[in-house]
Structure 1
Amino acid sequence: MNKSLETMGKEAKAAAKLLRKVKTVDKNQALLAMAEALLDNQTTIMDANIIDINQAIENGLTKPMIERLTLNAERIQGMVDSIKQIASLPDPIGYIEEMKVGEDGIQIGKRRVPLGVIGIIYESRPNVTADAAALCFKSGNAVILRGGKEALASNQAILTALRQGLEKTNIATTSIQLITDPSRQIASEFMQMNTYLDCLIPRGGAGLIQHVLKTATVPVIETGVGNCHLYIDKDADLEMATRILVNAKCDRPSVCNAIETLLVHQGVAETFMPVFAEALKPYQVTVRGDKTTLALMPGSKPATEEDYQTEFLSMTLAVKVVADYEEAVSHIQTYSTGHSEVIVTDSYQCSQDFLDDIDSAAVYINSSSRFTDGGCFGLGGEIGVSTRKLHARGPMGLEALTSYKYIILGNGQIRGTTGNEITH
């Protein structure tokens, strides 16, 4: 194993042993110091970000990807606010749940504990550096971060600021570390650091996530690709539907909770299609649709099977006109990645059926999918959006970064041998 990587692992493991015993008040004070350090280093962070952006433009990165990479005063303030909110949240560590008294008078409960050392692999968005570090720190975990090479200067500047904040406390700065070697070899070794990492969380596009799943020997919490759908039912309020569509697609098309496919009931297609086409004009959205869509929307392009499978992360929208609710649900069940799905309808029965029929991390009735976010869900930020059902699902906040251990309180009880007990 690379010596530098091994050193990081050893330091993280040592830091985790100490961090799990740090008092809540001390963690919160450290978080506020980190937030303050981000503001103090705002100019330095934005200067580093300019280096990354210039390099990205030179390397031909797409506009949506550059948008994800970009930092400004508003986004840095957003990172600061997120850290402060995380500091204000209840600390899950040490919380005892399901305390009960057994037949022998012993008390048995489940106590929340940190996972230990968490590895995060992510792309493009440098704000993840601050969010992930703060969430792991508050939940008592040491973290090793590995961002994309396109955001290396930004990530380094953010980490430097966070550690400046930590230096004002008695908590080890090695609680938060960043891999600065962008090589694939180091990334592969990182994914197989079973001796030091307790879990690995990838956050990025389908290519990154699949690569991590195939390469990692460390347990992986999979955060998912967002091939999200919006279905306009025959009983939909079309003004509401237009408003939700514009927000869900055009607000930030480069994020995983943006809509990628629009399904329209044939009963409202002729009325709705020209309306939403006009609403999308200012955003220069490219529509790829089926035959009915092509007929109703001049200028749209024919959709392929691949289009309905794709998370575009850009101003491209796949559209299909469906015969009925059942066809819409069948389409979503076929192509959904299990992230966020939306129905717009005034039918109570149809909305309740949608909640039952769609098995995704977030299912919406008459609301934009853009709310699938840790901050919007009151989690203070998120480490990612899990599209799987094991351990965590949906936006992953503090509790998702913990496990539990059983604690047993007695006063001298011993277990007696019974006829049903198996002994070895």
Structure 2
Amino acid sequence: MSGAAGGAGTGAAGGEPRRVVVVGASLAGLRAAEALRAGGFGGELTLVGAEPHPPYDRPPLSKQQLASEDPAGSTDLPVPAGLGAEWLLGTPAVALDPDGRTVKLADGQELGWDGLVIATGSSARGWHGPVPAGVHTLRGRDDALALRAELRPGRRLLVVGAGFLGGEIAATARSRGLEVTLVEAAEQPLARAVGAEAGGYLAELHRASGIELRTGVTVTAFRGDPGLTGAVLSDGTELPLDAAVLALGAVPNTGWLEGSGLALDGEVGCDAALRVLRADGSVLPGVVAAGDVVRWPHPLAGGARVALGHWTNAVEQAAAAAHTLLRPGEPEPFTGVPSFWSDLHGVKVRSVGLPAFADEARVVEHDLPGRRLEVSYHRAGALVGALTVNRVGRLAGYRRELQEVLLGAAG
């Protein structure tokens, strides 16, 4: 298959597409490609990836990949032998022409399509200015390998941001014998995501594991030129350091879509069936999206558009988006129950639903010495989420109840 534009066929608006381009070759892109083939798509299939690596799993990067000396290939995602796709890796997309139905790549190629899956994911949010060598972010495999080289016993590490990623990095570094300081601007880790009750519990876990957790403060400056020597906090504290990690959240990769006329509000705006919307709110035929880059209306949030950067969401959305692309006349609302997990300090943190949209958190069990926690989340009295620590089995009932809510909303 050549990279020339044109020959895109009748388009998904008039039936099943004949040539599909998937922009994004990570988890969501790979799963979308697999779902297209499983759904009977027999046409030309191209996957475009900004990274030079084949698809790999990201959750292990902040845990197993940092904790061991295993080769990077241990995180590879298996690609079915019969996928029958052309891979264009290390060649990011730079522009989309929705009317001409082309995607322009950084090397000048233009790919024609009549079906398009946008699955470009997100990138690590960086610092607001220059930083010395030794200040890292963690999003991709190469980031993990660079950070792992810094994690040597006795070294002093600062982790900026106590969300799930920051917490996992801090826990892994502490398990490797580093002196770890974890800084969080809010009063508790993950307060906005899971509330003060669960956030306070996780704070105690960090401290019990020997991490110096500082909440309600930010980093105002890094010291060192060219290499990192320390950082200054907003309360005036100066920390001597050997390395630092910025865990400040993620930024959706939508820059290549600027000027395309799509609905962009941080993420790519979609309808309930994951069909991409134009800026005027109309559906763009033949274009769907999946994964971190998507913002779509969710019943558990009262119909508000949400964006979720979780592994399970990417997998389930990819399958749903592929179905929508192959059956344009039969759009079905995406009704997956959101879920995420985190493993840190030897405990399993699991959640379902949308705890961040609750107006009430009910603590069912709180046992710090026994390392157990169960919290349910409610909005206007109705269940919208749940979180457990080392109580995985208790999530099944919550998941069933949330699924019933979503199916009722879809019906």
Superposed pair shares fold, TM > 0.5 = no
Of Structure 1 and Structure 2, the greater helix share is in 1
Instruction: Give the TM-score of the pair, scaled to structure 2.
Output: 0.30
**Greater fraction of residues in strand:** 2
Query: TM-score if structure 1 supplies the norm length?
Result: 0.29
If asked which structure has higher relative contact order (CA below 8 Å, sep 6+), I would say 1
* Greater gyration radius: 1
